[in-house]
Amino acid sequence: MSDWGRHTNVGYKKWKDTPVSAVTHRTGRDRLSSVSEGRCEDDEIYVHSVPTVLAQVEVEDGCQAVTPGCGRPSVDTFTVEDAVEVIGFGKFQWKLSMVTGMSWIADSMEMMILSILAPQLHCEWRLPSWQVALITSVVFIGMMLSSSLWGKVCDRYGRKTGLRLCMVWTLYYGFLSSFSPVYSWIIVLRGLMGFGIGGAPQSVTLYSEFLPVKSRATCIIATAVFWAIGAVFEVLLAILVMPSLGWRWLLALSTIPLWIFLASSFWLPESARFDVLTGNSEKALATLKRIASDNGAKLPKGKIVMHRQDDRGKITDLLAPEFRKTTLLLWVIWFANTFSYYGLVLLTTELFQAGDVCSVTNSKAKIEPSCSLECSYLTLDNYKDLLWTTLAEFPGLFFALWVVDRIGRRKSMALCFCMFSFSILPIYACIGRTALTVIIFTARAFITGGFQATIVYTPEVYPTATRAIGIGTSSGVARIGALLTPFVAQVLLRSSVYLTLSVYCACSLLGAVASMALPIETAGRALQESSHATTGQEPNSSSPEPAASQEGAVS
């Protein structure tokens, strides 16, 4: 056979000697369709009247291999994205949402327990206020330090592996902290627990990679219901356990969702997208067949296309030219979300205990008591207030579900940030407790909705090779906001209510501007695979697949 021309820059290789300009190259699901000025004759094709035997064309950008016979592909190919879309949403995704939802319940319970454990230990161990605050701070510090690490583990070794490992870590130190004999032990063990729970957002990475485009936003936002369920369950558990058994039993029993998750995690499959990225096409195909069987669907015919990439989970990839703007803006958005969300939670307690805004301004209510060791145990009314606060999450979830696909991810985030700012403006006036309750709940609903839109957008905008590290670093930056917001909501509030509210308004408006400045809208957009692809474009733009893509030898 004759060798063909030069190596081109669009993914062909092993073409020697004879230049060919007549072959039309297309990307994605398009096929090598024609050879101009040629005719078919057995195993030969004629290019500009030059007979050439075409044995095989090895294409590395997602197009299928071409074998002898009229220049037509002999075997169809499909990507994981194609398979997920054909299989659709069904029984498998329902089961997957239940399993990954347990990680959200565990995460929520560990966060909610902070508001219950701190006042209890303040009274029982006679701790000064700064030591009580440190119990909460070490958890967020642990989460901040570990979020990027767990993302790197998930990108390098698999989503299932990373998620199971972080949950084992959380279970071990969470359960062990119930045996803490002294204050120093509770600080160390709760910090280590926070280090583990920092990987919980990776359940979104795994879950999103099995969802078809039409269902992705709805399903990811719907999983936030598990967060609300976890918070409610923790409060109810505290009502039952704290009066008779105490905080140690509460810590131990709060690990129940972790036990359930780990027991059911043996059912979890590894992400098929991750498998093709690591070159394990057989395992990816087996996973897709399993999903198709559960959903009563059939896979596309042909061979699965691989997009192998070995340099995965690199933070530097997030700051590459095509991702730099998106990454920096997302860090601002995640920071603004957590800063505003947790700030509002803290403001709720401060303002409710003061009775109204004027009481905080005029009488400096909620000042540290003359004896720093004074304490009061949580009452049944306090637990009821916690339940009512948690219920404010549901309107936010419904609002996010309604707008995220209608107006897009970017506009949804910006709208929620703006509505949060407008919602808290009436607090500048001297309003009563009832009006204050309505306003705070409305504001919390909007900031919750914005947070959920952000969680939907983040895994969609990054390719499989950096998706977990992208979520991990964003979550780590978010914890910085959670660490800083108490100094505004509790410390600055005692000096000026108006300055405090202005800080939160400004921060949320900054988040709105960052949301609109994002260069890519991901609504209706397929998940990308390799980070070597041309990525920084709008979803409708046509760009070649990465040159590292290959066809798997599995049909």
> What is the average per-residue pLDDT within 80-91?
85
Q: Would you give the DSSP letter of residue 493?
A: G
Residue 411: its pLDDT value, please? 92
pLDDT band at 85 (very low <50, low <70, confident <90, very high): confident
Q: What tokens appear for 16 in the block?
A: 């020697």
pLDDT band at 544 (very low <50, low <70, confident <90, very high): very low
What pLDDT score does 1 carry?
A: 43
What tokens appear for 47 in the block? 């290019």
For residues 488 and 349, what is the distance between their CA atoms, to the nearest angstrom?
14
Q: What confidence category does residue 86 fall into, taking pLDDT thresholds of 50, 70 and 90?
A: confident
Q: Note the pLDDT of residue 424.
A: 87
Per-residue pLDDT band at 156 (split at 50, 70, 90): confident
Going by their DSSP bridges, the two strands 40-41 and 44-47 should be labelled as antiparallel
What is residue 343's predicted lDDT score, i.e. its pLDDT? Answer: 83
**Residue that wins the pLDDT comparison between 334 and 534:** 334
Residue with tokens 């303040």: 122
Model confidence over 182-217: pLDDT tens digits?
A: 888 999 999 999 999 888 888 888 888 888 888 888
Q: Which of 69-78, 153-162, 500-509, 513-522 has the lowest mean pLDDT?
A: 69-78
428 versus 307: the higher-pLDDT residue is: 428
Q: What is the pLDDT of residues 166-176, one digit of tens each?
A: 999 999 999 99
**Most confident range, picked from 287-291, 471-475, 478-482, 508-512:** 508-512
pLDDT of 370 reads 39
Higher pLDDT, 403 or 306: 403
> Residue 216's closest CA among 466, 448, 460, 452?
460
Choice between 13 and 499, residue whose per-residue pLDDT is larger: 499
User: What pLDDT sits at residue 327?
Assistant: 93
| Per-residue pLDDT tens over the stretch 312-329 | 657 778 888 888 999 999
> pLDDT, tens digit, for every residue of 354-401?
555 565 555 444 444 334 445 666 667 667 766 776 777 788 888 888
Per-residue pLDDT, 517: 94
Q: Is the pLDDT of residue 120 over 70?
A: yes
Residues 166, 183: Cα–Cα separation, whole Å: 25
Mean pLDDT (whole number) for 118-138: 78
pLDDT in tens, 263-286: 988 888 888 888 888 888 888 888
User: In which region does residue 171 sit, left (phi positive, over 0), alpha (psi from -120 to 50) or beta (all else)?
Assistant: alpha
The pLDDT value given to residue 419:
93
Q: Where is pLDDT greater, at 495 or 295? A: 295
- Residue 227 clears pLDDT 80, i.e. is over it: yes
% of the chain exceeding 90 in pLDDT: 17
In this predicted structure, the answer to whether residue 159 has a pLDDT above a threshold of 80 is: yes
- Determine the Cα angle at 238 with ends 237 and 244, to 5°: 105
Q: What is the mean pLDDT of the chain?
A: 75
Rounded Cα distance, 131 and 122, in Å: 8
Alpha-carbon span 235 to 389, nearest angstrom: 11
- On the question of pLDDT at 165 being above 90, the answer is yes
Distance, CA of 408 to CA of 456 (rounded, Å): 11
What was the pLDDT predicted at 199?
86
Tokens, residue 28: 């994605």
Mean pLDDT computed over 22-38: 34
Can you spell out the DSSP letters for 114-147? HHHHHHHHHHHTT--HHHHHHHHHHHHHHHHHHH
CA 299, 305, 311, 314 dihedral sign is negative
- pLDDT at residue 354 in the model: 57
CA distance 56 to 342: 59
Rounded-to-integer distance, Cα 32 and Cα 64, Å: 8
Token pair 């405090």: residue: 500
The predicted structure's pLDDT at residue 192: 93
Angle in degrees, 0-180, between the axes of helices 380-391 and 91-124, rounded to the nearest 10: 150
Instruction: Enumerate residues 6+ apart whose C-beta is below 8 A from 434.
Output: none
Tell me the percentage of the chain whose pLDDT exceeds 70. Answer: 73
